[in-house]
Structure formats: C-alpha cells, structure tokens
C-alpha cells in the first residue's frame, strides 16, 4: 500500500507535471549534483575555492529579494480565525486560484521531494515536514537549514505525521506569487518566489505559521525567538529567548562575543530565529531550535559586529544577493574595510558607489549552525534548554528605554503584545516605518492574534516556573540622531543585569512602565558612556508613553471582543500610572 507521503507526492506530480522526480536523501553526493544543477541554471556561481571552500553565490530575480507579506495568506475556513492582522483567503478559493498557478508549473523541470526534521533528530519536540520544490537552490538551502533527507524519511516511516509544503518558483512574476497556508490541513503552498521565508517552507511557513496553530492546540509555544545561554563566572549557564522582528539583530545577539569575557560572562548560541517550547518535567519551559542553520542578513555583518559568524561563513556557505570581488570573494556594505576595486553588484553588474549598495540590503548567508564557534554544547539536547527569561525588543529611535523588566507575567504579555518596531528590508515595503509587531509575530502568527494573546495568558497559568519578561531597545537615538548605545558585544551588559534580576539581586528602580536598572545597576567597566547618555537611555518619558497608549488602544481595537480582557486591564493600569506621573509633574 502506498504511504501518505507517496500519495501526496503523486498528487503533487499530477498537478505540477514535472519531467522527473528526485527523492532527496541528503547525502554529500546528492548535494554535489544539486549544486551542479544550480551552477548550470546560471543564477549561481562558485566562490574562491581557496578562501571560501564549498561556498556559492546565488543571485535571485531582482523582483524577488524579500518576504512578501501582502502575498502571504492564512486560509482558515472562517475568516475570523485568521484575524485582522493576516491576509485571508477561503481554503477552496485559494486551492483553485493557487492551484491554477501550480498546474503544470514544473513542466520541463525536476521535482525534488525533500523530507526534513525541524529540531534535533532525537528530540520529542521536533517535527517532520516534507517540501516538494522545483528549485535546486531551495534544496541546497534546506540541507543547511534543517536535518534533511534519509534521517527525516526514517523518522517519518509510513506515518502521515508530517507537514506537507508544495513549492514552485513558477515564473517569478510577483503578480503570480502566493504563499498560502491551510492551518486546518497543516498544508503549505507557495508559488512564484524562490527567496528565503517565501520558499524555504520549513522556516516561517511551517516552524512559525503552521506550528503556532499546532502549539496552541497542543499546549506549547512556537515563537519568533533566538535562544542563547549566558555563562556566568563559575560556569553556570542561564538560557534566555528573545523576540525581535526580522533584521533587528537576533543573529548578532545570539552569536555575540561578550565585552565582559574578562569578568567570566560569555554567550552560547542555541538558535538565532525560532524557538519551540514545551513545559518540562522540572516546571520550566524547555526550548529547542527547530533549525540547523542560520539564514542571516549579510550587510552590516563584520568582524566588529559578529566575529563568530565571520569565522563560520568562510566554508560550506550559500550566499544570496551579496556582491562579488575580483578575487571571487563575497562582499557587502559593513564587511570590514573599504570596498576593493572591481566589485560586481548583487545583480551581476560592475559596481561603483553611484549605483546604490553593492549588496542588496536583504542579502543573506546560509550557514550550518554547528560551524559557529559560539554554538552551545546543548544546542541539540533532545530535552531542550530551560528558559529563564523572555526578552522582547525592536528598533525604536525614541520612547523605549535600553531595558526594562515587566512587573509580572500578565504585564509581560502586555509588553510583548504592544511591541513596535521600525520596519526593515526583510520584507518588501517601506523601511523605517514604526509598526506594531506583537511578540515579533505579526507576519508569522498562523491564526487570530487575539487568540494568540489568550494562549500566552493560558501558558502563564500552566508553567510552574515561567520566564521573567523583559524589553530591550538597542536603537534609541539622542537629540543629534546618533545611537545612544554601542550595541553588539556590549549588549552583554544588559544580559548580565537580566541575569541578576532572575537571580533576585540586580539593582533596579521602579518606573511607570516596569523596572529599569538602578543608577549603578549596569556593569559599565571599560565602556565610555556619560552619566547623561545613560540617563537618556533609561529615561521613561510619560508624554511619549501617552502616545504609545493611544496607538496601542487603536491596535487593540482591531480585535474587537475577541481581545483578552487582561490586555485591556493592563492598558488601564498603565494609563493610571502614567496619569499620576504626568499630574505629579504639573
């Protein structure tokens, strides 16, 4: 009898009509064939074999360089279940509309069947997915980003317990591009894009949108969070998970070289983008990183900002839309040093600075996680790592202080639900516009976010030792428009304070919005920062927060009656605290 996987492959082949079908085993020999196919297609090339062994540059179509949120849909039978923050199509309508684009889409092409595990192969928290794709670049990327091939096929056996994802690059025309999710069937269809989160279906589509639905049903959490371990003097490691929107420094924070290494503080990387968490027998939330690689933003990455990744990406790495030097090495803005002569830009054209950036602002590297010198010895622990803190954050030029701690879990959920950030190049659209992005999940929650907030409150009741909840902002600017905080490796000073708060001895000062570090709360040895800058960094300006209150009120109103009352209560409490602050001043 045919297995559920075989049936689905046959059904997909009947629809997309490929010339041939290849079942991927994940072997090195197969990888070489896939790479040969990429090179043959003419959109990829081999990098300097001496300095960048087994590294390749892939150039995407210039109209296909980032996730396209406006073309991403949640197809639940009831529109209300997708909620006001998601695009919705009814499942049947989506099947016929997107089905028509997939019909015959693989004619003349090879269909690759890519079984993969999200999470360590032996972890009970891990899940199996299968992606069908006609893009060899996607196959090569999935091999880095997940445990792909035989290992996944073996775990699946003849079971129907996998998330199917059908992907075709179609004709790459944005007018015929759709990324659609069927949460009820746990099915993903994607057509018309070969880029990142649109095409590597294990990542945002499965590990966040579909998994968030599964997590709510089954009592766990699928979050857009990095996972790091902070080692303190004596060798104890405390794990924290942090949610920032795309391209706000999750990878750099997770892989940081600590500025306080001489004091015994060091950061270990468990994951840089996604966290799946279940309540462990010890009463803590245990997190695994479902991914096996990092799909990080290249521009701005250099020896100063992320030395660990710079050491990792010199081998077995796939670069996308970076520039190329005459030495056939990858290049981008923010990599160390002045641009060498004769650069070829991300579109493959000779470059000079009059032509805009040489690398696309959303250019990426795809690198196996295990190549990072900072990788945690626990990164593949089947039971995951116990999480002591959640850290929310975003890019805010104003308003949000460097760090603050919420009063309790309920307030912490409010802090996450009211998060906002200035938009980046990770998604198409305007850059630098402040938007509400609750828990950094706005583009990634597979169901109504009102229900998602409810799920957070429910989890809070069920976790015996819930993480403490913090908010950080590395991006606050002074009156001169310059960043107030140096960021990168110096961020460990904030992590150290968070650790001390977890342990119950960090010096803090209560403000209207939560606790901020007391005057001498942050360890600032070796950092030149004036007392005035520090007080600007930590300032809570009641007038600014009045504006936040108004904005979050409007945001919450979108959800109508479905919004948990707890959020409105927290909103009222904050309003009251701010009112006393404003009237005390006048």
**Contacts to ligand SAT by CB under 6 A:** 67, 196-197, 203-204, 246, 295, 426
> Which of Mn ion, ligand SAT, none binds 203 (CB below 5-8 Å, type-dependent)?
ligand SAT
Q: Under the criterion CB under 5 A, does residue 289 sit at the interface with Mn ion?
A: no
C-alpha separations of 369 from 39, 144, 151, 424, 443 in Å:
24, 8, 18, 24, 24
Site mask, Mn ion, residues 35-64, x = CB under 5 A? ------------------------------
Rounded to a whole number of angstroms, the minimum distance from the CB of residue 525 to Mn ion is: 33
* Shorter beta-carbon distance to Mn ion: residue 273 or 570: 273
How far out from the chain centre does Cα 410 lie? 24
Q: What tokens does 434 get?
A: 């402040």
Q: Is the dihedral of CA 367, 391, 553, 435 positive or negative?
A: negative
Build a one-symbol-per-residue string for 103-142: x at contacts with Mn ion by CB under 5 A, - elsewhere: ----------------------------------------
* Cβ-based nearer residue to ligand SAT, 145 or 237: 145
Those residues whose C-beta lies under 8 Å from the C-beta of residue 477, and which sit 6 or more positions away, are 397, 398, 483, 484
Given ligand SAT, Mn ion, none, residue 177, with its beta carbon under 5 to 8 Å by kind, binds none
Work out whether 246 is an interface residue with Mn ion (CB under 5 A). yes
User: What residues have CB less than 8 Å from 504, skipping those under 6 apart?
Assistant: none
Nearer to ligand SAT, 197 or 280 (CB): 197
Q: Which is nearer to ligand SAT, 36 or 431 (CB)?
A: 431
In the complex, least distance from residue 157 CB atom to Mn ion, rounded to whole angstroms: 31
Q: How far is the CB of 509 from ligand SAT (least distance, A)?
A: 34
| The entry of ligand SAT, Mn ion, none that residue 73 binds, CB within 5 to 8 Å by partner kind | none
Question: Residue 197 or residue 467: which is nearer to ligand SAT going by CB?
Answer: 197
Residue 194 interacting entry, from ligand SAT, Mn ion, none, C-beta within 5 to 8 Å by type: none
Record the tokens describing residue 324, joined without a space: 């190329």
Q: What is the three-class DSSP state of 417?
A: helix
User: How far apart (Å, rounded) are the C-alpha atoms in residues 301 and 309?
Assistant: 8
Give the nearest distance from C-beta 272 to ligand SAT in angstroms: 10
Place of tokens 């020896």: 303
248 catalytically annotated: yes
- Angle at CA 395, nearest 5°, toward 324 and 565? 135
Residue 291 vs 566, nearer CB to Mn ion = 291
Cα(153)–Cα(329) distance, rounded to whole angstroms? Answer: 36
Q: How far is the CB of 85 from ligand SAT (least distance, A)?
A: 16
Residues 484 and 474 sit within 8 Å (Cβ to Cβ) = no
**Contacting Mn ion within 481-500 (CB under 5 A):** none
Burial of 401 from C-beta contacts in 10 A (0-12 / 13-18 / 19+): buried
Stretch that binds Mn ion, among 60-68, 241-249, 385-393, 416-424 (CB under 5 A): 241-249
Q: Using CA atoms in the order 544, 549, 551, 553, what is the torsion angle rounded to 10 degrees?
A: 180
Q: Which helix (H) or strand (E) holds 22?
A: strand 20-23
**Stretch binding Mn ion (CB under 5 A), from 69-77, 267-275, 450-458, 496-504:** 267-275
- By beta-carbon proximity to ligand SAT, the closer residue of 245 and 386 is 245
CB of 295 to ligand SAT, least distance (A): 5
Candidate list 24, 75, 248, 445, residue with the active-site label: 248
Closest to Mn ion by CB, 139 or 442: 442
- Kindly state the smallest distance separating residue 60's Cβ from ligand SAT, in Å: 11
Regarding 272 and contact with Mn ion (CB under 5 A), the answer is no
Which of 273, 329, 405, 490 contacts Mn ion by CB under 5 A?
273
Closest approach of Mn ion to the CB of residue 248, in Å: 9
Written as six digits, the tokens of 345 are 């830009």
Q: How many C-beta atoms surround the C-beta of residue 94 within 10 A?
A: 19
Non-local (6+) Cβ contacts of 343 within 8 A are 323, 324, 325, 326, 331, 350, 351, 358
Q: Give dist(CA 318, CA 324) in Å, integer.
A: 13
Q: Annotate 335-353 with three-state secondary structure.
A: CCCCCCCCCECCCCCECCH
**Alpha carbons 90 and 92: distance in angstroms, whole number:** 6
The residues, any chain, with a CB within 8 Å of residue 203's CB and separated by 6 or more, are: 145, 196, 197, 273, 274, 291, 295
Is position 437 an interface residue for Mn ion (rule: CB under 5 A)?
A: no
Q: Min. distance of Cβ 197 from ligand SAT in angstroms?
A: 2
CB of 392 to ligand SAT, least distance (A): 16
Comparing every residue's Cβ against ligand SAT, the nearest one is: 197
Q: Quick one: 105 or 138, whose CB is closer to Mn ion?
A: 138
DSSP of 102-161 = HTTTTTTSEEEEEEEEES-TT-TT-EEEEEEES-HHHHHHHHHHSEESHHHHHHHTT---
Work out whether strand 226-231 and strand 187-191 pair parallel, antiparallel, or are unpaired: unpaired
Q: Hey, is 451 helix, strand or coil?
A: helix
| Partner in contact with 167, chosen from Mn ion, ligand SAT, none, beta carbon below 5 to 8 Å by kind | none
Q: Rounded to an integer, what distance in angstroms lies between the CA atom of residue 347 and that of residue 359?
A: 9
Q: Which stretch binds Mn ion (CB under 5 A): 33-41, 107-115, 272-280, 337-345?
A: 272-280
Choosing among ligand SAT, Mn ion, none, which partner's interface includes residue 164 (Cβ < 5 to 8 Å by kind)?
none
C-beta of 418 vs 423, nearer to ligand SAT: 423
Per rule CB under 5 A, count of chain residues that contact Mn ion: 2
Please tell me what DSSP assigns to residue 171.
T
Give the residue numbers marked as catalytic: 248
In the complex, the residues that contact Mn ion under the rule CB under 5 A are 246, 273
């Amino acid at each position: 009898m045919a297995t559920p996987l075989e049936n689905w492959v046959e059904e997909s082949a009947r629809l997309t009509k490929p010339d041939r079908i290849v079942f991927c085993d994940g072997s090195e020999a197969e990888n070489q064939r896939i790479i040969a196919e990429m090179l043959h297609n003419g959109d990829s090339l081999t990098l300097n074999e001496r300095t960048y062994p087994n590294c390749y540059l892939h150039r995407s179509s210039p109209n296909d360089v980032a996730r396209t949120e406006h073309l991403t849909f949640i197809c639940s039978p009831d529109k209300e279940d997708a909620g006001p923050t998601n695009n919705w199509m009814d499942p049947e309508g989506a099947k016929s509309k997107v089905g028509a684009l997939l019909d015959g889409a693989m004619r003349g092409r090879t269909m690759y069947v890519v079984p993969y595990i999200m999470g360590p192969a032996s972890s009970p928290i891990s899940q199996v997915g299968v992606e069908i794709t006609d893009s060899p670049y996607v196959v090569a990327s999935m091999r880095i980003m997940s445990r792909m091939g035989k290992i996944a096929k073996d775990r699946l056996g003849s079971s129907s317990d996998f998330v199917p994802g059908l992907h075709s690059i179609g004709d790459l025309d944005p007018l015929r591009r759709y990324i659609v999710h069927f949460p009820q069937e746990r099915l993903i269809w994607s057509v018309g894009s070969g880029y990142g989160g649109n095409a590597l279906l294990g990542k945002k589509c499965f590990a966040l949108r579909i998994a968030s639905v599964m997590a709510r049903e089954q009592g766990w959490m699928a979050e857009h969070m990095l996972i790091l371990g902070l080692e303190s003097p004596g060798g104890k490691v405390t794990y924290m998970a942090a949610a920032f929107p795309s391209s706000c420094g999750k990878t750099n924070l997770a892989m940081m070289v600590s500025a306080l290494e001489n004091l015994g503080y060091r950061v270990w990387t468990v994951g840089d983008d996604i966290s799946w968490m279940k309540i462990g027998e010890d009463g803590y939330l245990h997190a695994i990183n479902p991914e096996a690689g990092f799909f990080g933003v290249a521009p701005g990455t250099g020896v100063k900002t992320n030395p660990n990744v710079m050491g990792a990406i010199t081998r077995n790495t796939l670069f996308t839309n970076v520039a190329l030097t005459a030495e056939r090495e990858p290049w981008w803005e923010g990599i160390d040093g002045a641009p060498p002569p004769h650069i070829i830009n991300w579109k493959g054209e000779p470059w000079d600075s009059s032509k805009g950036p040489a690398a696309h602002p959303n250019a990426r590297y795809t690198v196996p996680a295990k190549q990072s010198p900072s990788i945690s010895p626990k990164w593949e622990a089947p039971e995951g790592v116990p999480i002591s803190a959640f850290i929310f954050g975003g890019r805010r030029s104003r308003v949000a202080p460097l760090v603050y701690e919420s009063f309790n879990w309920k307030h912490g959920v409010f802090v996450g639900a009211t998060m906002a950030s200035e938009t980046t190049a990770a998604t198409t659209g305007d850059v630098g516009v402040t938007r509400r992005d609750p828990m950094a999940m706005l583009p990634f929650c597979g169901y109504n976010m009102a229900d998602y907030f409810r799920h957070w409150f429910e989890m809070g009741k069920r976790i015996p030792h819930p993480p403490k909840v913090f908010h950080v902002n590395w991006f606050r600017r002074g009156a001169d428009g310059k960043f107030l905080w140096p960021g990168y490796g110096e961020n460990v000073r904030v992590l150290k304070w968070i650790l001390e708060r977890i342990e119950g001895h960090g010096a803090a000062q209560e403000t209207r919005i939560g606790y901020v570090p007391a005057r001498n709360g942050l360890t600032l040895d070796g950092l030149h920062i004036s007392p005035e800058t520090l007080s600007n960094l930590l300032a809570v300006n009641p007038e600014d927060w009045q504006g936040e209150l108004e904005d979050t009120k409007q945001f919450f109103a979108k959800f109508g009656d479905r919004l948990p009352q707890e959020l409105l209560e927290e909103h009222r409490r904050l309003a009251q605290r701010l009112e006393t602050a404003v009237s005390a001043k006048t």
